[in-house]
């Protein structure tokens, strides 16, 4: 007999006792749930660490490492294949439904500092073990598939696993998270694993144990994902509106996006806003003759820039279609002024044929993090392209107040390499990170100049020419 096609009597017995459709379903669910867990983990990290490649790439890398170790561990299993898969599915479901629940992840990042340590605990304690447990499925179940050649068995198993990963990635990211939220994606992944585990034959003496464990996992998942207070979640961001106590404000409430203070409004008449929004509104509304202007805002926030401004025409660009309804219902308590375009900010300024009098760049993915593709020279060139000849661009940046960090100096240099010299206003000089408003103009940049020196000092002549 060809050794490559030989199977142990135990494997043959287990394989005959199960419909082949159930074996394929197990491998399909493994692929669906494992990639689903990875997508959910990446989404859970956004409010705390952002979505920069420096966060996503290591997370994916460690997930793949754990998956590879799971493949190796599964290849060493020599018997009791169904029992191993059942146990792995139950533990993976427990880790997903509890470890990736919104309140659990929020509590982890709230109580563990620094943030990279919380990330390490989430990846090493939840996502990695899930990948390791589910990664064993394909090599284990390959022993039970009824094909003559090893290649046929492994090919069929990998096909159904990869198909599950493909459909899981699409359905969870484009369907479930968009319409039902992240918690629903968590419950679906865990629920599929539990359903398959309960479909497998169990020795009569251990049947109640498997059922009790599955029931406990389901109850814990319902409590952490459905009963405990949840923030408002979409596929793109986590939202929360909460009252705050601020001296000089009348019952202010804050619109938090990914744990960042995106907007603030109080009950005064007229309302008061965050300081940087008030400075922007002063520049846009209080300048003489600034009426009937077309203003493009990249990053909707809480829509306070256009709040009660009937004189100008606002176009907001945001990637999340749910943000307008949430802002109107939970934060503004009235309709938004202006239209909302659902698009990535970079893509919009590349594609649009419209021209604007002012472009406001106020896009953040988390905390102080501007998405990396919105800080490059090419992006600033595109913002300049959509301006009218006499237009201006205003960017709200979160930087150190001395503008001494490498990031601050490089970002400002990048903007001014496109626009030329820009006005820079630092709002809070006694905070480690502060709003910095940068205003640039669309006209041609001025010619390069030489510094004044004792040997060649043209200061008085240049001052005379400037008057």
Residues 321 and 226 in one domain: no
d(CA 262, CA 285): 21
Q: Is residue 186 part of a domain?
A: yes
Q: Please, what's the b/e burial string for 336-363 (b: 16 or more CB within 10 A of its CB; e: otherwise)?
A: bbbebbebbbbebbeebeeebbbbbbbb
| Burial (0-12, 13-18, 19+ Cβ within 10 Å), 90 | buried
> What are 452's two structure tokens?
């004044």
As a three-state string, the secondary structure of 69-120 is HHHHHHHCCCCCHHHHHHHHHHHHHHHHHHHCCHHHHHHHHHHCCCHHHHHH
Coil vs helix vs strand at 399: strand
Residues 260 and 193 in one domain: no
Instruction: Output DSSP code: residue 65.
Output: H
Q: Is residue 458 part of a domain?
A: no
Residues 269 and 174 in one domain: no
Maximal CA-CA distance, the chain: 100
**H-run or E-run covering 420:** none
> What are 354's two structure tokens?
């419209």
Candidates 165, 27, 139, 176; CA nearest to 89 is 27
Candidates 67, 85, 79, 39; CA nearest to 135 is 67
d(CA 143, CA 76): 11
Q: Is residue 147 part of a domain?
A: yes
Coil vs helix vs strand at 306: coil
Q: Is residue 457 part of a domain?
A: no
Residues 46 and 181 in one domain: yes
Contact 20, 146 (CB under 8 A): yes
Q: Kindly give the interhelix angle for 20-49 and 150-171, rounded to the nearest 10 degrees.
A: 40
Residues 59 and 134 in one domain: yes
Which of the listed residues 231, 248, 264 is the one where a domain comes to its end? 231
pLDDT at 212: 82
Provide the number of structural domains found in the chain: 2
Contact 318, 302 (CB under 8 A): no
Residues 315 and 365 in one domain: yes
Cis status of the peptide bond prior to 434, with omega within 30 of 0: no
Residues 219 and 317 in one domain: no
Place of tokens 């640039």: 440
Candidates 438, 346, 440, 350; CA nearest to 392 is 440
Domain containing 67: what range? Answer: 3-231
CA distance readout (Å), 156 to 138, 142, 278, 303, 350: 10, 8, 62, 52, 44
Residues 59 and 177 in one domain: yes
Q: Is residue 461 part of a domain?
A: no
- Measured between its terminal Cα atoms, the distance across the chain in Å is 99
CA distance readout (Å), 48 to 100, 318, 326, 379: 14, 20, 21, 25
CA distance readout (Å), 217 to 132, 187, 213: 19, 11, 6
CATH number, domain of 339, equals 3.40.50.150
d(CA 238, CA 231): 6
Candidates 418, 416, 417; CA nearest to 385 is 418
pTM for the complete prediction? Answer: 0.82
Question: Mean pLDDT for each 10-residue chunk of the chain (467 residues)?
Answer: 45 62 93 97 90 91 97 92 93 96 93 94 97 96 77 86 95 91 94 91 70 86 85 86 91 90 91 92 73 92 92 94 92 95 95 95 73 91 94 93 94 94 92 92 80 84 78
Contact 163, 96 (CB under 8 A): no
Residues 188 and 290 in one domain: no
Place of tokens 């692929």: 31
Residues 218 and 243 in one domain: no
Contact 161, 25 (CB under 8 A): no
CA 69 to chain centroid, in Å, comes to 27
Place of tokens 């006209």: 443
Which of the listed residues 231, 265, 285 is the one where a domain comes to its end? 231
CATH number, domain of 187, equals 1.20.1250
Residues 186 and 282 in one domain: no
pLDDT at 229: 76
**Sheet arrangement for strand 423-426:** 339-342, 313-318, 294-298, 356-361, 387-399, 434-441, 423-426
Q: Is residue 462 part of a domain?
A: no
pLDDT at 448: 76
Residues 273 and 199 in one domain: no
d(CA 56, CA 49): 10
Q: Is residue 449 part of a domain?
A: no
Q: Is residue 459 part of a domain?
A: no
């Amino acid at each position: 007999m060809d050794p490559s096609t030989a199977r142990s009597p135990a494997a043959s017995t287990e394989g005959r006792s199960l419909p082949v459709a159930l074996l394929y379903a197990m491998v399909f669910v493994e692929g669906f749930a494992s990639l689903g867990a990875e997508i959910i983990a990446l989404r859970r990290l956004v409010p705390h660490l952002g979505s920069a490649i420096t966060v996503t790439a290591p997370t994916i890398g460690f997930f793949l490492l754990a998956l590879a170790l799971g493949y190796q561990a599964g290849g060493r299993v020599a018997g009791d294949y169904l029992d191993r898969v059942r146990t792995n599915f139950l533990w993976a479901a427990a880790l997903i439904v509890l470890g990736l629940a919104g309140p659990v992840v929020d509590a982890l990042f709230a109580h563990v500092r620094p943030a990279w340590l919380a990330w390490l605990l989430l990846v090493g304690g939840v996502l990695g073990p899930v990948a390791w447990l589910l990664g064993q499925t394909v090599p284990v179940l390959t022993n039970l598939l009824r094909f003559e050649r090893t290649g046929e068995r492994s090919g069929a198993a990998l096909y159904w696993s990869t198909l599950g990963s493909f459909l899981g990635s699409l359905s969870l990211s484009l369907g479930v998270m968009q319409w039902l939220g992240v918690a629903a994606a968590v419950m679906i992944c865990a629920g599929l694993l539990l359903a398959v585990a309960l479909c497998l034959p169990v020795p009569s003496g251990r049947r109640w144990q498997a059922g009790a464990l599955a029931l406990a996992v389901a109850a814990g998942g319902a409590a952490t994902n459905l009963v405990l207070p949840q923030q408002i979640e979409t596929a793109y961001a986590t939202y929360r509106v909460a009252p705050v106590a601020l001296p000089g404000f009348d019952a202010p409430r804050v619109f938090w996006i990914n744990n960042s203070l995106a907007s603030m409004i109080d009950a005064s008449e007229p309302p008061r806003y965050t300081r940087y929004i008030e400075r922007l509104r002063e520049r846009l509304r209080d300048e003489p003759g600034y009426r009937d202007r077309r203003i493009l805002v990249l990053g909707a926030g809480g829509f306070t820039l256009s709040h009660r401004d009937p004189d100008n025409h606002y176009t907001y660009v945001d990637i999340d279609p749910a943000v307008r309804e949430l802002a109107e219902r939970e934060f503004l308590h009235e309709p938004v002024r202006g239209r909302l375009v659902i698009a990535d900010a970079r893509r919009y300024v590349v594609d649009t044929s419209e021209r604007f009098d002012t472009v406001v760049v106020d896009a953040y993915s988390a905390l102080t993090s501007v998405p990396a593709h919105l800080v490059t020279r090419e992006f600033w060139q595109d913002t300049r392209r959509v301006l009218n000849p006499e237009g201006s661009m205003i960017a709200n940046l979160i930087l150190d107040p001395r503008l001494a960090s490498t990031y601050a100096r490089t970002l400002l240099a990048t903007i001014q390499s496109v626009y030329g010299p820009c006005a820079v206003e630092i709002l809070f000089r006694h905070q480690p990170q502060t709003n910095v408003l940068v205003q640039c103009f669309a006209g041609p940049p001025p010619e390069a100049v030489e510094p004044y020196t004792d040997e060649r000092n043209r200061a008085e002549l240049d001052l005379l020419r400037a008057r």
